[in-house]
């Protein structure tokens, strides 16, 4: 039995990696198979994810596009398709230009659902040329053809960061990796719009060597170490661990996990734009918020304020 503290880490190092490496790094969290990452492992991992339909993994990389259209009709047709899970802005009303941001999954699914829309075809053709791994299964016999009247540019991260504040908060996405207990993650996954990937007790077998042949728990902030309450909590966790490991001798992890408590350590990646992070902090850093949630959210807010002062400085954690 291990006891570890809760923590939150901004994964801005992923922003400097390729989209394939980023998606693999996040996706392997679910199975805790990060040790299998090699220089050539990203492509087969992503192809298998697509084959199995694990679409949530494809939400861990966002793209921002600047789309110039020849006519208003092209824009109207696109908006009439009611694109889902995308942020769409028209920075200058007089210009026929849109700023479109979404995850790889969002761009894949809009093509699958609205592949006859001219602007969608133009965006997909550009993305498939630059990132063929994410669109190879949608190409068909003719592939993706560029569209006349539609010009698409992909923004760099530096260009996104240079956007005016009102656009930055909507088009800049950031991933945070939480190490916390399952009571906290039950609350985190209620937030929308966000993307989530979480360590899976269904697939992780904690009796394996890579987990130390033991279950890891999050230190409870409610009880002081050495107190009678802490002793009782520790005793309960040891009992759960013992039964869980016994069940694994004859059961699968998804069956044995039914005895594991909320105090179990889990890891979750939350990926959202800055506007949604603002909303999360407004709810999860107040005195009314669950104490274990505040334990990770208040330090995280301070770090966000350091990195994006113009966005988060108005918030005051408690």
In order along the chain (318 residues), what is the average pLDDT of each group of 10 residues?
98 92 97 96 96 94 97 96 95 92 97 96 97 92 90 97 96 98 97 96 96 98 97 98 98 98 98 98 96 98 95 82
* Burial bucket for residue 81 (CB in 10 Å: 0-12, 13-18, 19+): middle
Whether 278 contacts 308, CB under 8 Å: no
Nearest Cα to 289, choosing from 298, 299, 302, 276? 298
Domain region containing 288: 2-17+172-307
pLDDT at position 94: 80
Does residue 243 sit in the same domain as residue 198? yes
Does residue 107 sit in the same domain as residue 139? yes
Instruction: Give φ, ψ of 52 to 5 degrees.
Output: -85, -10
Distance CA 137, CA 37 (A): 23
Task: Note the Cα 104 to chain centre separation in Å.
Answer: 12
pLDDT at position 126: 97
Does residue 178 sit in the same domain as residue 293? yes
Residue 230 belongs to domain with CATH number:
3.30.1360.170
Residue 55 lies in a domain: no
Does residue 195 sit in the same domain as residue 146? no
Task: Note the Cα 99 to chain centre separation in Å.
Answer: 21
Give the residue from 168, 187, 215 where a domain finishes: 168
pLDDT at position 143: 87
Does residue 176 sit in the same domain as residue 259? yes
pLDDT at position 120: 97
Does residue 136 sit in the same domain as residue 255? no
Listed in sequence order, the DSSP H helices in the chain are: 19-27, 42-52, 72-80, 104-114, 118-130, 157-161, 165-171, 182-188, 228-247, 253-256, 274-284, 291-307, 309-312
Does residue 299 sit in the same domain as residue 196? yes
Task: Say how many domains are in the chain.
Answer: 2
Residue 315 lies in a domain: no
Residue 267 lies in a domain: yes
Residue 226 lies in a domain: yes
Does residue 163 sit in the same domain as residue 180? no
pLDDT at position 67: 98
Give the residue from 105, 133, 168 where a domain finishes: 168
Whether 102 contacts 109, CB under 8 Å: no
Whether 117 contacts 98, CB under 8 Å: no
pLDDT at position 317: 63
pLDDT at position 29: 97
Q: Biggest alpha carbon distance in the chain? A: 73
Residue 215 lies in a domain: yes
Does residue 185 sit in the same domain as residue 70? no
Give the residue from 134, 168, 202 where a domain finishes: 168
Does residue 302 sit in the same domain as residue 188? yes
Does residue 156 sit in the same domain as residue 252? no
Residue 110 belongs to domain with CATH number:
3.30.70
Distances (CA, A) of 35 to 28, 29, 32, 73, 231: 9, 10, 8, 50, 35
- pTM, entire model: 0.95
Does residue 122 sit in the same domain as residue 182? no
**Which residue among the candidates 142, 284, 287, 306 is catalytic per the annotation?**
284
294 is catalytic: no
Task: Note the Cα 152 to chain centre separation in Å.
Answer: 25
């Amino acid at each position: 039995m291990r006891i570890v503290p809760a923590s939150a880490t901004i994964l801005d190092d992923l922003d400097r990696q390729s989209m394939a490496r980023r998606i693999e790094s996040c996706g392997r969290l679910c199975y805790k198979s990060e040790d299998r990452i090699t220089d050539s492992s990203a492509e087969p991992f992503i192809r298998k994810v697509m084959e199995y339909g694990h679409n949530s993994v494809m939400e861990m990389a966002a793209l921002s596009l600047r789309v110039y259209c020849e006519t208003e009709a092209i824009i109207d047709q696109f908006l009439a398709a009611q694109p889902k899970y995308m942020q769409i802005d028209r920075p200058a009303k007089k210009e026929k230009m849109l700023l479109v941001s979404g995850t790889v999954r969002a761009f894949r699914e809009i093509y699958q659902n609205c592949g006859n829309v001219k602007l969608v075809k133009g965006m997909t053709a550009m993305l498939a040329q630059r990132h063929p791994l994410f669109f190879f299964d949608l190409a068909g016999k003719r592939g993706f053809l560029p569209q006349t009247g539609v010009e698409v540019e992909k923004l760099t991260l530096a260009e996104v960061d240079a956007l005016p504040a009102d656009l930055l908060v909507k088009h800049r996405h950031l991933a945070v990796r939480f190490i916390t207990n399952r009571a906290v993650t039950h609350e985190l996954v209620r937030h929308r719009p966000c993307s989530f990937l979480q360590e899976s007790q269904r697939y992780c077998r904690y009796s394996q060597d890579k987990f130390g042949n033991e279950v890891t728990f999050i230190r409870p902030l409610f009880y002081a170490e050495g107190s009678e309450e802490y002793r009782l909590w520790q005793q309960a966790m040891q009992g759960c661990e013992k039964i869980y490991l016994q069940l694994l001798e004859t059961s699968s992890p998804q069956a044995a996990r039914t005895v594991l408590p909320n105090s179990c350590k889990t890891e979750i990646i939350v990926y959202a734009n800055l506007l949604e992070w603002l909303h999360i902090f407004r709810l999860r850093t107040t005195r009314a918020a669950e104490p274990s949630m505040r334990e990770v959210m208040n330090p995280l807010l301070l770090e966000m304020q350091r990195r994006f002062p113009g966005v988060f400085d108005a918030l005051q954690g408690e």
